[in-house]
């Protein structure tokens, strides 16, 4: 069995490596999926141990559970749209955390932990803590991503979360260091599990929408840590390997997203209550533009940049956008896609959308590689993006996104923003780009607007 687990481990590492390269991402996904299948086969075979009372029934049970899980996963993968993928990731993290809490409680209650088993007890306590935080934190993150109404975050939530955190740290330290137990282990386990569930919701609630990609990455890392602890407790190679890989990749993503937001992880997780600066009620000087005018502007532009955002995912406009790109290139224009690291609602969201539309990888440019030369573009087409092009991040210290690196679309000769209406971005901040003299707004569904632009380009 160890050989199968070794093959699965190598396959998962190679799959993750391939996923880092857009050209081999599909292959990486397939290799990783096949490696998981190999690992599950090993688990199924290992579950057969008649001498320990785990006979044929165990094999049938494991196979049925794997089949049920595979079927549910297949249905969810087919039904959940790309716009719902961040919510799905958050929910899957939550279920993993809930499983850790349930397992910890079952093991702690069914198999009494003696005073001489503090290391084992400590693993169960940590599993309950991280699992509980991952579960309720993911539920709150899911609700935020779905746009559901939640209680308004207040300073008392942050203070309560910190009090719960230090309470759990104190209880864990006393359990590990005290000469004699202060209470039965089962009671301590239940108390810490309940505290972690409450803490997960309270610490997630104040985290703003603009920081949601960082939070999701952090929850992924937490999920991996839970699997790692479970692997250590059960001496399970697969869980141990999976926990290490998921925890490591989640941690790296968290650091990368924090850097992209120009935030420290501590400041994100501490939560910042947005202050009302009064700008949300200010009227803006909006200059609308029509599809024919947009087509004329693009037709006479030699350098065109496209900045995709979550709105493009909502309208499923990536295919039409690629069609427009090809048409502009035939007319002699150079077209680039500029992607912000946190565009969309999870890392890589826009990259996946463009890959679905068969956009060439060499057309995609990172924000940091183009920001200093944005003035070379005759036109920048912002499709459904908002916060990632908002100059308030550079000019308004009172803004909740202040300090976040943005794509400096405002520096281009002309900016056209495709929007359904005047709703704010996910951060809730007014976009000061719309006040700029070189910015005009094309209102309507992004897919329909792009189709209208293409029809007009055909007439030119």
Q: What is the pTM of this model?
A: 0.74
Q: How high is the pLDDT of residue 345?
A: 64
Mean pLDDT of 18-26: 73
Residue range 379-423, pLDDT digits in tens = 999 998 888 899 988 888 888 778 888 999 999 999 999 988 777
Mean pLDDT of 155-182: 88
* Sequential DSSP letters for 373-419: GGGG-SEEEEES--GGG-THHHH-TTSTTTT-----GGGSS-EEEEE
Instruction: Choose among 456, 422, 418: nearest CA to 440.
Output: 418
What is the end-to-end Cα distance of the chain in Å, rounded? 66
Helix then strand count (H, E) for the chain reads 17, 6
Residue 278 — very low, low, confident or very high, per pLDDT cuts 50/70/90? very low
CB 94 within 8 A of CB 142: yes
pLDDT for residue 198 is more than 90: yes
Mean pLDDT of 208-225: 78
Question: Residues of 312-345 as b/e, b for ≥16 C-beta within 10 angstroms?
Answer: bbbbbbbebbbebbebbeeeebebbbbbbbbbbb
Q: How high is the pLDDT of residue 182?
A: 83
Question: Rounded distance, CA 43 to CA 47, Å?
Answer: 6
Instruction: Choose among 260, 148, 248, 128: nearest CA to 196.
Output: 128
Query: Out of 48-52, 326-330, 349-353, which region has the weakest mean confidence (pLDDT)?
Result: 48-52
Q: How high is the pLDDT of residue 195?
A: 95
Under DSSP, the state recorded for 54 is: B
Task: Tell me the CB-side half-sphere exposure of residue 235, using CA atoms within 13 A.
Answer: 3
CB 303 within 8 A of CB 334: yes
CB 335 within 8 A of CB 306: yes
Enter the tokens of residue 132: 């509980």
Q: Which residues are catalytic?
A: 387
Long-range contacts of 5-12 (CB under 8 A, 24+ apart): 5/39, 5/42, 5/237, 5/238, 5/241, 7/35, 7/38, 8/35, 8/36, 8/38, 8/39, 8/42, 8/238, 8/241, 9/35, 9/241, 10/35, 11/35, 11/38, 12/36, 12/241, 12/242, 12/245
pLDDT for residue 277 is more than 80: no
Q: Is 335 helix (H, G, I), strand (E, B) or coil?
A: strand
Residue range 67-85, pLDDT digits in tens = 898 898 888 878 877 667 7
Question: Rounded distance, CA 132 to CA 238, Å?
Answer: 22
Mean pLDDT of 224-251: 81
Residue 94 falls in which region: left (phi positive, over 0), alpha (psi -120 to 50) or beta: alpha
* Sequential DSSP letters for 411-439: GSS-EEEEESSS---TT----GGGGSTTE
Q: Is 83 helix (H, G, I), strand (E, B) or coil?
A: helix
pLDDT for residue 273 is more than 50: no
Q: Is 275 helix (H, G, I), strand (E, B) or coil?
A: coil
Which residues, listed in sequence order, are joined to residue 441 by a DSSP beta bridge? 288, 417
- Which of the two residues, 228 and 280, has the higher pLDDT score? 228
* Phi, psi (rounded to 5 degrees) for 306: -115, 125
CATH for the stretch 284-459: 3.40.50.1220
Question: Rounded distance, CA 407 to CA 394, Å?
Answer: 11
Domain ranges within the chain, ordered by starting residue: 85-270, 284-459
- Which of the two residues, 82 and 223, has the higher pLDDT score? 223
Mean pLDDT of 108-133: 86
CB 282 within 8 A of CB 431: no
| Percentage of the residues of the chain whose pLDDT score is greater than 90 | 26
* Most confident by average pLDDT, 3-7, 300-304, 360-364: 300-304
Which residues, listed in sequence order, are joined to residue 249 by a DSSP beta bridge? none
């Amino acid at each position: 069995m160890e050989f199968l687990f070794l093959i699965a481990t190598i396959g998962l590492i190679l799959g993750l490596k391939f996923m880092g390269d857009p050209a081999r991402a599909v292959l990486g996904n397939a290799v990783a999926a096949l490696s998981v299948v190999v690992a599950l086969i090993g688990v199924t075979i290992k579950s057969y141990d008649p001498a320990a009372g785990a006979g044929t029934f165990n094999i049938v049970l494991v196979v049925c559970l794997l089949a049920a899980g595979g079927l549910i996963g297949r249905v969810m993968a087919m039904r959940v749209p790309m716009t719902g993928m961040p919510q799905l990731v958050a929910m899957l993290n939550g279920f993993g955390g809930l499983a850790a809490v349930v397992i910890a409680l079952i093991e702690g209650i069914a198999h009494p932990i003696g005073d001489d088993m503090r290391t084992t007890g400590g693993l169960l306590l940590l599993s309950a803590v991280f699992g509980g935080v991952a579960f309720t934190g993911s539920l709150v993150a899911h609700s935020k991503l779905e746009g559901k109404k939640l209680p308004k975050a207040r300073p008392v939530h942050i203070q309560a979360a910190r009090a719960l955190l230090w309470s759990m740290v104190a209880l864990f330290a006393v359990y590990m260091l005290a000469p004699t137990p202060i209470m039965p282990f089962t009671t301590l386990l239940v108390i810490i599990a309940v505290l972690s569930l409450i803490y997960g919701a309270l610490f997630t609630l104040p985290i703003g929408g603009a920081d949601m990609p960082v939070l999701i990455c952090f929850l992924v890392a937490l999920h991996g840590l839970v699997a790692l602890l479970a692997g250590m407790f059960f001496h399970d190679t697969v869980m141990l390997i999976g926990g290490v890989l998921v925890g490591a990749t989640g941690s790296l993503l968290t650091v990368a997203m924090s850097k992209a937001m120009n935030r420290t992880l501590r400041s994100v997780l501490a939560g910042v209550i947005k202050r009302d600066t009064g700008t949300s009620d200010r009227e803006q000087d909006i200059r609308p533009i029509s599809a024919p005018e947009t087509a004329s502007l693009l037709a006479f532009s030699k350098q065109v940049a496209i900045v995709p955002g979550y709105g493009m995912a909502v309208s499923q406009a990536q295919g039409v956008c690629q069609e427009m790109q090809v048409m502009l290139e035939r007319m002699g224009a150079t077209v680039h896609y500029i992607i912000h690291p946190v565009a969309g609602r999870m890392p890589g969201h826009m990259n996946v959308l463009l890959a679905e539309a068969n956009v060439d990888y060499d057309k995609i440019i990172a924000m940091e590689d183009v920001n200093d030369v944005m003035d070379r573009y005759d036109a920048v087409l912002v499709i459904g993006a908002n916060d990632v092009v908002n100059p308030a991040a550079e000019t308004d210290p009172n803004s909740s996104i202040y300090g976040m690196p943005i794509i400096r679309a405002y520096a281009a000769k002309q900016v056209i923003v495709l929007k359904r209406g005047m709703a704010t971005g996910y951060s809730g901040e007014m976009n000061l780009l719309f006040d700029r003299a070189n910015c005009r707004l094309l209102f309507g569904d992004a897919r329909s607007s792009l189709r209208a632009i293409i029809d007009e380009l055909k007439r030119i």
